[in-house]
Amino acid sequence: MSTITWGILGSAAIARICVIPAIQASRNGRVHAIASRSIDRAQELAAEHNIPHAYDDYEAVLADPAIDAVYIPLPNHLHHPWTLRALAAGKHVLCEKPLALNAAEAQAMADAAQAAQRLLMEGFMYRFHPRSQHIKQLIKAGDIGHLRLIKTAFTFNLSDPDNSRYRPEMGGGALMDTGCYGVSLARWLLDAEPIAVQAQAIYSDSGVDLTFVGTMHFEGGTLAVAEASLVSALQQTYTIVGSEGVIELPHDAFIPWEKEAVFTRRDVEAESGTLHRLPGADEYRLMAEHFADAVLGHTPLAFDPAESVRNMRVMDALAQAAAER
Ligand SMILES: NC(=O)c1ccc[n+]([C@@H]2O[C@H](COP(=O)([O-])OP(=O)(O)OC[C@H]3O[C@@H](n4cnc5c(N)ncnc54)[C@H](OP(=O)(O)O)[C@@H]3O)[C@@H](O)[C@H]2O)c1
């Protein structure tokens, strides 16, 4: 077997714009069915993306024996229940970030995947972009020396008051939505877990964090700062400061689309850096292809659910630190 069949739960923007086209363009996957709470929406998307089956019920995707893997781009509070159902139905699951509402839910999902002998991966697509891989290799090779600071800013101004990101009961908030990238990036680059965290947040009347700043302290003398906001001008940047140099992504740090991907590298004493350019790539397609390869048994899964549990543990600690200040 050289391809897998996918089912999609819901008509999320991320599925419509990025992940369905990515799977359809992948070398080893095809979308077999999409379900929406509205059959009209499901049929419309099926027609638009050349998907053979449209259902009005997510359960119908899980019951379809032709489907190997399910992509779950539902609001955050639905990641845990629908992942458990999909795994129980024998499907492999690629679930959107953040994997769950907290580490306890994520652990239950990891346990369910193991019990079902099915794969589960969180959709942190940025790790599959060749630029991310290249930067990680530079760091591991000591190109900028000992890492001192990792500064991430992922902020935007979300005008839709009904969006799930503004709803605490749906797992909303800036930390959950974009702060999770800053946590993931620091842990991924360092291959380590923070030993202490601190955080501050500005909350909405409904109780979601609108703006969040978290700091993470890693053994060996590295600090990481993650900025996230739902009510601020766009920033999608990160800066990695080492003892011997700096790597900076001035824009599109996590979602460069298929544009040329750039970063700058600056030497220890230099005021300005050299711009490096990498060809564009579809990180969603690369993620979907990797997941399909793993389902087919061609490669081990690059990021197992235990990795996501550890990410959620740090997010839990950051959320608690902000709430307790
Ligand atoms: N990796 C990335 O680049 C990226 C980017 C954006 C978002 N995300 C993640 O993807 C997930 C979806 O985000 P999104 O902004 O794309 O979602 P969205 O456009 O708001 O769509 C969510 C979908 O979930 C379904 N749904 C089921 N129950 C719902 C409920 N009670 N309320 C609202 N929708 C419900 C709806 O589909 P039907 O009505 O058709 O069933 C809806 O279209 C989130 O976990 C988010 O963190 C990831």
Encode pLDDT of 104-125 as tens digits. 999 999 999 999 999 999 999 9
**pTM of the model as a whole:** 0.98
What pLDDT score does 220 carry?
Answer: 95
Establish whether residue 76 lines the binding site of ligand 1, counting it when its CB lies within 6 angstroms of any ligand atom.
yes
Domains of the chain, earliest start first: 4-124 (3.40.50.720), 130-280 (3.30.360.10)
Establish whether residue 11 lines the binding site of ligand 1, counting it when its CB lies within 6 angstroms of any ligand atom.
yes
Whether pLDDT at 1 is above 90: no
Q: Whose CA is nearest to atom 36 of ligand 1?
A: 10
Span 301-311, mean pLDDT? 98
318 C-alpha to center of ligand 1: Å? 24
Q: Is 91 a catalytic residue?
A: no
43 C-alpha to center of ligand 1: Å? 18
Span 189-203, mean pLDDT? 98
Whether pLDDT at 254 is above 90: yes
Establish whether residue 236 lines the binding site of ligand 1, counting it when its CB lies within 6 angstroms of any ligand atom.
no
Establish whether residue 13 lines the binding site of ligand 1, counting it when its CB lies within 6 angstroms of any ligand atom.
yes
Calculate what percentage of the chain has a pLDDT beyond 90: 98
Q: What is the pLDDT of residues 163-187, one digit of tens each?
A: 999 999 999 999 999 999 999 999 9
Cβ-defined contacts of 32-35 (< 8 Å, 24+): 32/5, 32/6, 32/7, 32/64, 32/66, 32/67, 33/7, 33/8, 33/60, 33/61, 33/64, 33/66, 33/67, 34/7, 34/8, 34/61, 35/7, 35/8, 35/9, 35/10, 35/60, 35/61
Of 36, 96, 124, 284, the residue with max ligand 1 atoms within 8 A of its CB, to mutate for a pocket test, comes to: 96
